[in-house]
Structure formats: C-alpha cells, structure tokens
Structure 1
Amino acid sequence: MAATINQARTSISKMFNGEPRSYTRFNLAQNSDADSSQVEMKLSTDVDDEVGNPEDGQARVTYTQSPLRTYKNICYLALGTLVVFILGYLVGYVSHRKPDVASTSCLTASTVPTVPTVPSKEDQDEGLAVEALPSLSWNDITNLLEQKLSSSAFSTRFSDFSLPRGVGHEAGSDGDIELANKVLGVFKDLNMKSWNDKHIVKLPRPSSDNPNKVLFGTEEIGTPKGYLAYSEVGNATGRVVYANYGELDNLSYFDKKIDLKSSVLLLRAGKISFAEKVANAAKYGAVAVLIYPDPDDHNFVGSTELYGHVHLGSGDPYTPGFPSFEHTQFPPAKSSGLPTILAQTITADMALKIFQKMGGDLAPKNFKGNLVTTYKLGSADNMVTVTVSSTLAEADIHNIFGVIKGSEESDRYVVIGAQRDSWGPGVAKSTVGTTLLVELASAISEMVRKDHLSLRRSLVFASWSAGEYGSVGATEWQEGYLSSLNMRAFTYINLDGVVVGRTKFKASASPLLYDLLKNTLMQVKSPFHAGKTLLDDYTTSRDWETPVLEAMKMDDAAYPFMALSGIPSISFRFCEDKEYPYFGTSLDSLDHLVVSTSSKHAEFAVAAANVAGQMALRLAHDHLLPLDVARSGAEIRKKVIEVNRHVNQFKSTLGLNSTLAQVLSVQWLNSAIGTYGRAARDLQNTIDNSDLEDKEMCRIINDRIIKVEHNLLSPYVSVRDAPFRHILFGSGSHTMEALLDHLNALKQSAPESDEDLFRNQFAWATWTIQSCANDLFGPIWAMDNEI
C-alpha cells in the first residue's frame, strides 16, 4: 500500500518539477551564495540507520529553489496533493475492505462455507482478504439436489449403461471393461480427479470339458449350467435329505431323527446366503449341497439357472488379508471361509425330479414349498451323486474412482459405491446402482461448479468389479489401503440393488448412522404416497426403526466396509415383503424390474438417489460429523445386558459345581460399557461448551467420533484368519455373539466348549469395549482409568 502511494506521489512530482519533493529525512545547511536562497539537501538512506551520517566529501544531492514562485505552480502543487490524497484513499479502501461473511455454527451447520475467489499473487503477498460468494443454506442444497435428479435424466443415463441384449458383463469380461471405460469417461467429462485401480484375482469358471452333473442312483437328473463359485471340486455320493433353507434351526430338526453325516442336502434358495447354507451343511457333516429355486420364493420358469458364490467371506479367497495387486507376492494361501464340500445349483425342474423319486417321512409343514409334488425328507436308500468341475483363472478387474474434493478437510471422505459386473443382464443388481452413481456424481459436480456449493470434506465415487463373487473388487481395494482408509474414509454408502420393489423401504446400517438416516427420511419425498416424506410412511408405528431397519448380511456389499475396515456403512432399498427373485439369474432384466415397480422404476431411482445424496452431502457439509456415538453405545449396551443375563443363568444352573461359575464376573464388562457412556456424555459436553466455530476444535471432536467404529474391531485376532473383526457385526470367536454361543455350550457341557477359551473371549470383548471408550474420551490425559 505504501509503495503504491509513494509511486503516485513521485509521478505527480515529476510532472511539475522533474524531481521528487519528498524525502525520508534531510539535513539543512545555509549556502553563502548571495544571489539566491539555496538549500542543500542530503538524502538519508537505510544505511544511515546502521552507520550514522555520511562524512564530508560524500556525494550530496542538491537543488536550487527560486525565491519568486509563481501562483500557478502553487495551484499545481495543491491540486497534485489533493489527487494523491484521493487516489491513496481509494486504493486503501479497495485493498483493505473485508468481506461480510455470515457466521456459521458447528452444531446446526445450517449454511455451507463460502467459495472464495482466487487471489492474485500480489494480493497473496499483501495478505488481503477475498470477496466471498453467497452461501447456501441446507434447504438450498437439498432443493438443488432434488432439481438435478430427475426421472428423465435417470432414464437417459440408464440407457447409456445398459448393454445390448445377450452381451454379458461378468467380472473381467469385455462387457465389464466397456462399462468401466464409460464410467471413467463420465468422471473425466465432469473434470473430476479420476483413476483406475487394477487387481489380478483368481476367479473360478465352469469347465467346458467336464460339465457339472447330478445323478439319482444311476439316472442322470441333469447337467446344470448355473454354478456356485469357489465350491470344492470332485465327486460326492450320499443319502439325499431335504432340509428346507439350510438354516441352523432347519438342520437342528434332524437331531436324533436322521444322521446328516455323509449326506447330500437338498436346500431351497433364499433366507440366508448360499455360503451360509454350505457352511451350515458342513458343520453337520454333509458331503454336498444342492440348491434350487422353489416356486414359493421364485416365481419363474422351472428351467431358470442360478448363479452365485459360496465363499463365507469377501474378496479374493486366495489372497486372504492382503490385496491382489499386480506385484504382490502371492503365497499358497486360502481363506478359512472357502467350503470343504461340494456345492451346486440346480433348476426347479431338476429338483422336482429328485422329489418325485424320494421316499421317507413327510417334511414338516414349515418345510413345504410350492412344487407340484409331495415334500419328503428322503429315505436311507435315496442316493445322489454330485459332480462339480471348475477351473481357476486369473482375471484383471478394474475399480473406477472419481472424487469431488472438499475445501477444508479434503483428506476426509465419504465413499459412495456400486457394483458394475453381473451374471446375466443384472439390471436391478448392477445397472441401476451404476446409473445412480454417475447421476449423483454429475448432479453434485454441477452444484459445485455452477451453484457455488462448497463441501468441507471429499466425496469418492467408486465403481466396483467382481461384486458377484463376493465384493471382490471392493474388498481388495480395502485390503490394499487399510491404513490409508483409517481416519479418512468415515462412511460408506452402498447403491447395489436399491430398487427392486414398490411397497417398502428397508435399510441396514451401522448404529452410528441411524439418526442421520432418520433425518434424511424426514426430508426425502415419498415415492409411495404423494405429498409425504419417506418417514411419514411409518408414522403409524411408534418406532420407525422396527419396520425400516434390518441386520446387515454378510453378502451385503457394505458389510466388509463395516466388519473389515471399521467404516460406518449403510445399504438400503425399495422392495417387497419377499426377496427380489431374479438376482443371480438371466431374468434380472428391465422388463422384470418394470413389473416389480409398476413401471415406476425411474421415480424410485430418483428417491434412492436423493436418500444417498442427502446423506453424503450432510456428511461432507456439516462442521461436526452427524454420527451418533450414543446410539452406537446403546447397541453395545444391549449385548452387554444379554451377556449379563446369560452369565446369571449359567451361575444359577451350575453354581458350586463349576469352577468357572464361581470365578466368572461381569464387573469389568459392565465397567467398560459404563466408561463408554461417560465418554459419550463427555463428548456432548465438549460440544456444548466449546467454541465450535474454531476449525481446529471441530477437527478434534470429529477425530473422537470417527474412531468409534474402527475401535470396535477386535485387536486380538489377525485380519488373515478373521477378517471380519467387528465384535458386534463380525464373525469369529472374538464377537459378542460367539461369546454368548460359547456360554450356552458351557451350560450344556457340550464337548466343543472350552473354559480357558471362553475366559479369553470374555477378556477380549471387555477390553475392546474399554479401549473404544478410552479413545472416545480423547487425549490420553482425559481417559477414564477407573477400570
């Protein structure tokens, strides 16, 4: 600023006299010349400050002033001074005027941060403030999103991502790669930072030389084209037994009735995943499993083939616990979730042939399906032979990513993902989700570019491959970047299968997201009833959670994010009472989706996009993350109460007859959940009594919130042996559910029970909860050390 004014003064001075009239300092000395009044001026320099005045003999700058100054020059001088003053005032005002920026609140987050204009290099050097664009309220944001997500736009985009009839897009195929390039092209057109993450995985394919077969005695039942990936290969013969859906309750029916060892179980598809059916059958000693679609659950032609996988886990089972990157040193390892028995799907027509040949007792009433036959359990001489042949082949799969970066905490991000591959057309399974993914990316990108939307945190859009094989692409990505995702990826929103019906809305999620989901349902317009919100559809129930929420299943694409990586996750869908019957078949087509939604698939897709978009924007927009740690604590408390009840029953049943009953105490487990409750209240107290417009304070509070889900991953088991380490939602001996099961086994003196192992499990659960509570308190000096 000073330099600008001096330059103006110098220019004006030169206009009138050719020399500057202003000096920093000067010394005056009278000259003895009688003809004129001469003033000698000695320039003062910066060096004078250090070494003093110059000695005699140094160069001097002088000028001569005439004693007779004209009135004209005086007027020029006055005018020049006035111009300098006005010019300096205007420059100073423009340079130093601060923008009027509305204050924001961390708690309410009713406005988004403004987008500053980019300062010039000179402005940056001067440290000047920049003019801000108008801010958007949260209502502005939701209204903009709603305007940009239209059914017509969805239909157009849907056509772009639908491959021609007969062109498959199984993982690693040409069709899969074609779709990957389309998604990548959209991200690039939107000027998003985008990239391709390639993995080399082993995928099983049916053998063309040795087709899979099923024999009843010596008679061939059929050679099914459908298959179950990761099944054991070979031949197995055994007594065929019909066991309904293959749930543990179904199999326990045969206790003391039929020995299931060395049997071939005939099971209906549905209720639980293929992998869980096969794992349950293996527990009971079966040698093979045949799975068919019963007309009671799958109302389609009897020749329809089923496809799926039977890996009780996710990701490439031949690289358990580590990623399948190109330069990975692949050891000879296998996932513990791979089945040890044969598994094969058959058509309903093939199952009917088997039923018609079976003898034995009638099946119980709750086992009966809708085949036109008598449902029997099978007799001892009903022998079935199963042959499964497949080959493992390496395949390149590609995960495609695009990111909209945040303005303040770009290193924190929400991941929104959708499966891209499928067996068959996969319209409901993958095409709808992929379409929603790119539509959301397009809408939010436009809001940032044109509508001045500024997000604090980033949004990562991910298109996964090999989802049909058990979330292989998504899991391999997580395994490759586990340390990078910790404390950075704080929520995953899954878009797979979001539109499969027209009467209900269902969701499965981490408890941390329950409150956010409820608030979102309060704002999204219902596609069921005009003029209502989605939450209004459940006002007849006191508890909205009961009709909406359900447990997250292992075959849910969001499951590994929560149980493997400790990232709060959510899946949701518009659906019917019964499961969508066409997944994993050649019938997952647009025609069947149109029928299932009464031709309103585009409207339901828009509603689904609004649910996902509003949740993502709220997570990226608010000062404080809208994750409810108290709600998560309530779920932990429910499990602790259940453990307390079982321990009390165990003690009352065995009493002095059991050493374990005498020493077993729930004191420390109760103390751990008590510590969590105090930590949650302390966090709320910190929020209530802090300056929440302080960015650093908000980040410290958010750090405490982000860690909760991750800290519920048990540190006492390895990722390789037990990848799903979450003590509430995972699987393995470290979980609260395994603790309860083991307690019941001890109560019944079951041979597989082990007191020492149980006490270790009890300690693992206690200290996992306690450690989570300690970290929720924040700094090490704030932790509750009473335990």
Structure 2
Amino acid sequence: MKGEGATAGRGSIPLTPAFLFLLALCLPALPLATAVVPRCMMPPDSHMGRLSTNSDEWYKPHGDDLFGAAGGELLREMKASNIRKNLKYLTTQGHMAGTKHDLDQAEHLRKAWLQQGLDQVFLQPYNVQLSKPQADKPNKVYLLDEEGNVKFTSSILEEALRGEDYDDTIPPAFLAFSPSATVVSEEVVFVNYGFYEDFETLQRAGVDVSGRIVIAKFGKIFRGDKVLNAERFNASGVILYTDPADYHPDWRKGGEAYPSTFWLPESGIQRGSVLWRDGDPTTPYYPSIDGSHHIDEAHENLPRIPAHTISYTDARKLLVNLGGAEVPEAWRGGLDITYRMGPQMLRPGWKVKLEVNNEKKVAPIFNVVGVVRGSEEPDRYVIVGNHRDSWTYGSCDPSSGTAVMMEIQKVTLPSLPLAGWRPRRSIVFGSWGAGEFGFFGATEMVEEYLKTFENRAVAYLNVDIAVIQTYNLVVSATPMLHRIIKEAAKRSPAPDPSLGYSNLWDHWTQRERPAAPDAIDYNLGSTSEHAPFYQRIGIPTSYMLWEINLEEYDWSDYPLYHSTFDDFESMATLDPHFWYHLSLGHLWGLTALGLADAQVLPMDPNDEATMLRRMAEGLRQDFGTELSKGRLTLAYLESLVDRFEQAADKFNTFTSNITNVTPLLARQLNDQLMAIEKSYIFTEGSFQRPYMKNMMFGTSLHNQYEGWLAPGVRDALWEARHCKAECEEEWEGVKQQLSILQYVVNSAVINLKDFMYL
C-alpha cells in the first residue's frame, strides 16, 4: 500500500495518495472564512510597501493586470529572512536520496505544509534503484610503480576547511551508476573534456583509447556523456577531475578559494550521477509503484565501464606522470604541469589502478506533494517543483531552490484563501526525491500521472538552483511561457535598488545578460526536473536561476558544485541579504499566480511562431549543405511554419475582439493554448533516444546539458554527416525524422485553428 492511504473495506476504492490527489483536485473548492489583513510596518527585507488588503479589494486579474490582488500580496508578504532560515535548516546535514536525513526533510515539509493550510499534502513513495559506494570499500584511484607498490592513493573526502570533520551524512567520493570493477593499466589517455570531438582529435593524432583508462576534465558537457563517449571509443575506464582553469582560475597565482571565495579548493571533489536517461532504470517507461516489475541488470541502459571522480590536487599527481605528445593549446588546463596526451607513462612499468565498489539496491524515495485547490477549474494544474535531495549539504543545488519554494508556499498561498481568494486553477507543489540520481521522483510521477497531466497540466515551473551568482538572470522556457515570465519580471521589484534598476525586468534586460540576444532562450536541456515534463508530456516548461557574468567567466558548473563546500556559509557569503533568492521567488511565484488565476491563459501563440521560424532557419543554416546532398528540402516545413503564424495571428485577433468571455469559451481557448506544445510529443520518440518523446525541444545527442530544437532531425543529420559509406540507411533516418517533425508542427497548427471551425 502506497504512502499514507488506507483501504476502507473489501470491495471499496483504495484511498491512496494518488486517488485522493485527483479526487481533491476535481472537487469544487470549499468556501473559506474571509479575513482582514491588518496594516503594519514593512519588514526591511520585503522590498515593498504595505497596503491595506480588505476582503473587498481581492480582485481577479483583468485587462493588462495578469496577477490581480494576489500578486501584490505575494510581493508584500515574501521575506528574505524566511528564505535564509529555510536554507539554514535544509543544509544542517547531508541529505542524499535514500537516507534517513532525506526522509526527515520530506516529513518536515509534509508537516509544515499541512500546518500552513494546504488543501492536501501527501508523501508519494517510489521504489527505485539507487547506486552508492560500499561503506567499507570506498572508490579510489592508485598510482603504482613498476613493482606494484602504491605511490599515491586518491582522497575519498575533502579537507575539512572549517575545522569540523564531516559526519556520516556526507558520502565519500563516487559517481552513481558507475559499475563496480577494477582496471589496472600502464596506458592512460588525457581526453580534454571528453567531447565526442575530443576523441576524434585523438584518433587523428594516432592515439587510440581502446582498452585504456582515460582521464577528463569536468565541465562543458554532462559527466554521463563523457563516460558514454569513452564507451563509444572502447575505453576501459574513466577518471574525471575538476581542473582549476574551470573551478579556480586564480590557483596558480595563489588566489584564495573557499571559504574566502566561491572558488573550489584543491581537495574539492565533484560527486554526481553518470546515468544518461531519466528515471528509475529498472522500470523504463512505467512508474516504479507497488507491483511494478524491476528488470534485471542485463537489460538496464547503464554505463558499462567504471568511472570515478577525484580532486585537482590528486589529478595533478597522475597527470605529471603521463607521457606522450603535448596536448593542443586549447586543451591545456590550469595546473602547473605540461599536459600530455599519453598513452605512455613517463616511468616505464608504472600503472594507474581504478577501483570502483558501488552497489545498486532498490530503495524507497519520497516526493512531497501539496495542493492549493482551484475555485473554478480545480482539474487544471499549475505545477511548481524543485528536487530536495543533495549529494552533500546542497546549499546551492538544490536547497536554494527548495528554500525559495518553501517561502512561496508558506507565506503567500495558504494565507490568500483565508483572505477571500483562491486561484481559478489548482497549484501543485512538488518536492521531488532522488533528483540527483537522474530526476527519479519527478520522472516516476510523470509516468504515473502521464494520462492525467497530458490533459490537465497547464505548465511546469522548475527551479533547481536559485542562485549561483548574483549578476543576472538566466531563464529558459518553452515559448508559451515567455509572455507571463516577462510580465512577472516587470511587476517584480529589482533585487538591489542601489544598482539603479527600478524593477527586475530592467535589471534583467539592461545589464549584460548571459543569455543573449534574448532574455529568455529555448535551451532547456536536461539539467533538472523540468526535463521529464517537457520531454515526456510536452507541457509548457520553464527553468530559471541567478547566474554569474558568463562573458567574464567561462564555466558550465559553479565551482563548489556537488562538493562538501556547497554549504550554508558559502551561500550566505554569496547572497548575504538573500535579496536575490527573494527576487527569484517573486518571479517564480508571480508566474505561477498568473497562470493559475487569469481567465484566459496569458500565453501568446506568436511567441511559438517565432520559435518555429528560428527552428527552421537553424536547420537550414546548420545542415543546408547536407540536405541538398540528400536531395531533401525544408520547403514543406517552412510552409507549415507560415500556416502556424497565420493561425496565431487569427487566434490573437479573435481573442482581442471578445467582449464577454464565458466560462465555456475560456475553457475552449485555454485548452487550445495548452495543446500547442503538447502537439510536439511523438509516442515512438526519437530514433536514437526513444525515451525522449518531444520532437521540438530536446537535447544534444552528445551533451544532455545542451538544448536542441528539432532534436530528432538533428540527431539523424549528425549520423548522416558522420557516415563513411553509402549511408542509405542514415538518409532514410533523416527523411523519417523530418517527416515526424512536419507532422507535429502540423498538429500544432490544427490545434490552434480548431475554434474557427465551430
């Protein structure tokens, strides 16, 4: 029996959390007593003046106001000091998924949400396969001399720089889902960042990685793709390390690191998963609920070669012993050594030993789900989510996001119904379990509620990391959310008025942006829990955070990422007043309110048309030559984009001329808007990656961190471009994927035009 449900008796319906969740959302909202919120002094961390909120002032969004009275109340009531307290609690101990400490946090959230008056709160358990190091046999890398004597052993934990030893909530260095194995080799190859192109560069230089251990720098691409690329080129094992060029660029000049700055110290170790598909690997395509079959290991899509993670001070001891030719200049890192390709060791007979002792077990994980039930359309859901688990303390990833979500939920949404307000649609909060292992909690819930979310989910708003740095926002979103996010930013105060910006939108658009030329990009990638929502069911999706100035710093991971140094003190130094956490909460919360409370969803199909035009232009620009050689044309795809643009213009003209929107008409228009991006789902999935169902938004074939438009077509064209023979099969794949892309765009056109046939 799942969660906290109970069975009333023989022949009755089991009252599981899933059943109660859907039942509660479909029931009409119960009337609540009206309360008057008293006038009081503005807290110093609210950024907002205090206004009277008598019950007769609770108005719904109308006209150009997309947020109504609830939006103003959210801005007034959220406090930076509360977010700070939340983060302090969340980072008290490590809380890796599958541990008591992670379950303790789940129970803490469940009890708090119940006390704060959400309509429904429950724990949603799933039994998934987790991968962890054996307690008595930690993973290590050794350097052996010609007689087999150990000359160096890698560290299993970071140095305790704050004077307190780490407790048993902090796991030793490991990469989840690396298989257990021991590899000993006299031949080691340096492969730069482990790009597919890096392995090709080595091939052209006459350096074969087959049967050899490879060592690569973290960063630029997903660590699992580095391991997968090593497999593709038949390496025997992988060692990953954090090079100071990426994680502490001032290291050679004696620059300070944590705890004085956010740069990674020499002993820092990045943990992480190397699983390259989302969700429990033992229950592919279906949820890991009671009664589900868990496939055996032979059929799992898992890494086949061992991989381990070490610090840059340990990596240096390996790399100084590597021989062979010098690497290209672009491959050189920040260590004070001569970087060499290998594969020979400088000392004849010396070897590197890679030992991994991970074990896999099926264990329970827990989502915490809370619901504010809608008053008019309780069966339409705006989902707000963040994963809860962390490899260590997780101050930045993900607890900064969790701390903000707790404040959105705690201060605003339970109190607003007491003041006479409910959203038109239901708002669902999700604190996902086992996100770090591969978005397990979110993926399993998407699989369990797949048919429900396909029809009823309005949007999924994800924040994983709220603050990496405090320079500017990075926002990725599917086009149907661009309008509401921009309007929410215009309504939100600037995080730090001393910088001269009057609101968040001005800060975002007037300060140099990491994501240029547009404020919002489509590069969702597969970096967090938004991935299963857009890749599996196609609902409008967003991902947002505060970033560093990427024009000044070229990084892909923040320096303390997944290390024990990602603690409360490091975040308190980064955002001492928690103004930037509060600012992201304003943006996140207002976006949710606007989607939940507007009568007609604040979505503009013209934003979708802009994306479609860029998608088609991008294919022509990147693959025009190959398409011509294959006697293929994009003309039909472009004609479908034209038709969508025309339909979008007609839809907007129709809605702008309506003087009286009845509930039935609103429902019809909203269903059409919701259906646009769901049109991109193709049940069979991409031919290379069938678990990725979205034919419009996806990831690069060799880097899950990088988002691609038209991923199936791009995957097929990549294969055709790299084909060395007649390539008939590869070009058949291109033709099929192009046809599928045209099919889903045509489906979007049909969905948008539907009302004109009535």
TM-score class normalised by the smaller sequence: 0.7 to 0.9
Note the C-alpha offset of 1:744: 5.5
With normalisation by structure 2, the TM-score equals 0.79
Amino acid corresponding to residue 181 of structure 2 in structure 1: G
Q: 1:716 to 1:153 in 2, by over 3 A?
A: closer
C-alpha separation in 1, matches of 2:30 and 2:391:
45
Is 1:581 matched up with 2:559? yes
Q: Report the equivalent of 1:279.
A: 228
> Out of 398, 409, 430, which is 2:398 matched to?
430
Secondary structure of residue in 2 paired with 1:778:
helix
For residues 447-472 of structure 1, give each alpha carbon's deviation from its aligned partner in whole angstroms, at most 9, with x where no partner exists.
42343223111111111111111111
> Is the CA contact 1:399–1:473 (under 8 Å) kept in the aligned structure 2?
yes
Amino acid corresponding to residue 369 of structure 1 in structure 2: G
C-alpha separation in 2, matches of 1:408 and 1:322:
32
For residues 668-692 of structure 1, give each alpha carbon's deviation from its aligned partner in whole angstroms, at most 9, with x where no partner exists.
3233323322332232233134354
Q: 1:115 to 1:719 in 2, by over 3 A?
A: farther
Is 1:204 matched up with 2:124? no
Q: Report the equivalent of 2:106.
A: 180
> Out of 148, 155, 159, which is 2:84 matched to?
155
> Out of 41, 51, 71, which is 1:142 matched to?
71
Is 1:774 matched up with 2:750? yes
C-alpha separation in 1, matches of 2:318 and 2:700:
36
Q: 1:219 to 1:350 in 2, by over 3 A?
A: farther
Q: Report the equivalent of 1:227.
A: 174
CA RMSD between the two structures? 3.0
Note the C-alpha offset of 1:719: 11
Q: Report the equivalent of 1:506.
A: 474
Q: How does 1:257-268 map to 2 (within 5 A)?
A: 257=205, 258-268=207-217
Q: How does 1:460-475 map to 2 (within 5 A)?
A: 460-475=428-443
C-alpha separation in 1, matches of 2:215 and 2:97:
29
Q: How does 1:162-173 map to 2 (within 5 A)?
A: 162-163=91-92, 167-173=93-99
Secondary structure of residue in 1 paired with 2:204:
coil
C-alpha separation in 2, matches of 1:256 and 1:404:
59
For residues 405-460 of structure 1, give each alpha carbon's deviation from its aligned partner in whole angstroms, at most 9, with x where no partner exists.
11111111111112211111112213322222221112233442343223111111
Q: 1:651 to 1:573 in 2, by over 3 A?
A: closer
Is 1:322 matched up with 2:271? no
Q: Report the equivalent of 2:387.
A: 419
Is 1:532 matched up with 2:502? yes
Note the C-alpha offset of 1:144: 1.3
Aligned residues: 644
C-alpha separation in 1, matches of 2:688 and 2:536:
11
C-alpha separation in 1, matches of 2:644 and 2:272:
41
> Is the CA contact 1:296–1:369 (under 8 Å) kept in the aligned structure 2?
yes
C-alpha separation in 2, matches of 1:623 and 1:545:
33
Q: 1:540 to 1:181 in 2, by over 3 A?
A: closer
For residues 140-186 of structure 1, give each alpha carbon's deviation from its aligned partner in whole angstroms, at most 9, with x where no partner exists.
333211111112232334444443xxx33111211111111110111
Task: Compare 304-313 and 380-389 and name the one that shifted more.
Answer: 380-389
Q: Report the equivalent of 1:750.
A: 724
Amino acid corresponding to residue 173 of structure 1 in structure 2: T
Q: 1:480 to 1:650 in 2, by over 3 A?
A: same
Q: Report the equivalent of 1:616.
A: 592
Secondary structure of residue in 2 paired with 1:411:
strand
For residues 247-292 of structure 1, give each alpha carbon's deviation from its aligned partner in whole angstroms, at most 9, with x where no partner exists.
2343333241022333322111122221122122223332221111
For residues 85-131 of structure 1, give each alpha carbon's deviation from its aligned partner in whole angstroms, at most 9, with x where no partner exists.
xxxxxxxxxxxxxxxxxxxxxxxxxxxxx998899xxxxxxxxxxxx
For residues 574-620 of structure 1, give each alpha carbon's deviation from its aligned partner in whole angstroms, at most 9, with x where no partner exists.
122344222211111011112223x23x2221111111110000001
> Is the CA contact 2:241–2:315 (under 8 Å) kept in the aligned structure 1?
yes
Note the C-alpha offset of 1:401: 1.1
Secondary structure of residue in 1 paired with 2:690:
coil
Is 1:546 matched up with 2:517? yes
Q: How does 1:303-342 map to 2 (within 5 A)?
A: 303-332=267-296, 337-342=301-306
C-alpha separation in 1, matches of 2:542 and 2:429:
15
> Is the CA contact 2:698–2:711 (under 8 Å) kept in the aligned structure 1?
no
Q: 1:420 to 1:540 in 2, by over 3 A?
A: closer
> Is the CA contact 1:363–1:376 (under 8 Å) kept in the aligned structure 2?
yes
Larger RCO, structure (CA 8 Å, separation 6 or more): 2
Q: 1:449 to 1:758 in 2, by over 3 A?
A: closer
> Is the CA contact 2:685–2:692 (under 8 Å) kept in the aligned structure 1?
no
Amino acid corresponding to residue 235 of structure 2 in structure 1: A
C-alpha separation in 1, matches of 2:497 and 2:203:
49
Q: 1:385 to 1:240 in 2, by over 3 A?
A: same
C-alpha separation in 1, matches of 2:752 and 2:298:
36
Secondary structure of residue in 1 paired with 2:276:
coil
Note the C-alpha offset of 1:722: 1.9
Q: Report the equivalent of 1:103.
A: none
Q: 1:448 to 1:555 in 2, by over 3 A?
A: same
Q: Report the equivalent of 1:288.
A: 237
Amino acid corresponding to residue 623 of structure 1 in structure 2: Q
Task: Compare 142-151 and 611-620 and name the one that shifted more.
Answer: 142-151
C-alpha separation in 2, matches of 1:242 and 1:571:
34
C-alpha separation in 2, matches of 1:694 and 1:330:
49
Amino acid corresponding to residue 222 of structure 1 in structure 2: T
For residues 643-662 of structure 1, give each alpha carbon's deviation from its aligned partner in whole angstroms, at most 9, with x where no partner exists.
3456652465x4xxxxx52x
Task: Compare 485-494 and 298-307 and name the one that shifted more.
Answer: 298-307
C-alpha separation in 1, matches of 2:520 and 2:395:
25
Q: How does 1:72-87 map to 2 (within 5 A)?
A: none
Q: 1:210 to 1:443 in 2, by over 3 A?
A: closer
Q: 1:272 to 1:692 in 2, by over 3 A?
A: farther
Q: Report the equivalent of 1:629.
A: 605
Secondary structure of residue in 1 paired with 2:444:
helix
For residues 541-598 of structure 1, give each alpha carbon's deviation from its aligned partner in whole angstroms, at most 9, with x where no partner exists.
799853644522312221221112212111111122344222211111011112223x
Amino acid corresponding to residue 595 of structure 2 in structure 1: L
Q: 1:750 to 1:428 in 2, by over 3 A?
A: same
**Aligned residues with identical type, % of pairs:** 25
C-alpha separation in 2, matches of 1:559 and 1:502:
25
Q: Report the equivalent of 1:559.
A: 531
Q: How does 1:230-245 map to 2 (within 5 A)?
A: 230-238=177-185, 239-245=187-193
Secondary structure of residue in 2 paired with 1:764:
helix
Secondary structure of residue in 1 paired with 2:582:
helix
Note the C-alpha offset of 1:538: 4.4
Instruction: Note the residue ranges of structure 2 that are not aligned, 5 or more in a row.
Output: 1-28, 35-54, 61-66, 157-171, 248-262, 550-554, 702-707
Note the C-alpha offset of 1:300: 2.7
Note the C-alpha offset of 1:637: 2.2
Q: Report the equivalent of 1:668.
A: 636
Q: 1:700 to 1:642 in 2, by over 3 A?
A: same
Q: Which has the larger radius of gyration?
A: 1
> Out of 570, 573, 581, which is 1:595 matched to?
573
For residues 367-417 of structure 1, give each alpha carbon's deviation from its aligned partner in whole angstroms, at most 9, with x where no partner exists.
222223222222345753322221111211111111111111111111111
C-alpha separation in 1, matches of 2:571 and 2:339:
31
C-alpha separation in 2, matches of 1:344 and 1:776:
49
C-alpha separation in 2, matches of 1:762 and 1:185:
50
C-alpha separation in 2, matches of 1:572 and 1:538:
12
Amino acid corresponding to residue 134 of structure 2 in structure 1: S
C-alpha separation in 1, matches of 2:225 and 2:318:
23
C-alpha separation in 1, matches of 2:546 and 2:490:
16
Q: Report the equivalent of 1:302.
A: 266
Amino acid corresponding to residue 97 of structure 2 in structure 1: A
Note the C-alpha offset of 1:346: 1.3
Q: Report the equivalent of 1:764.
A: 740
> Out of 217, 227, 250, which is 2:198 matched to?
250
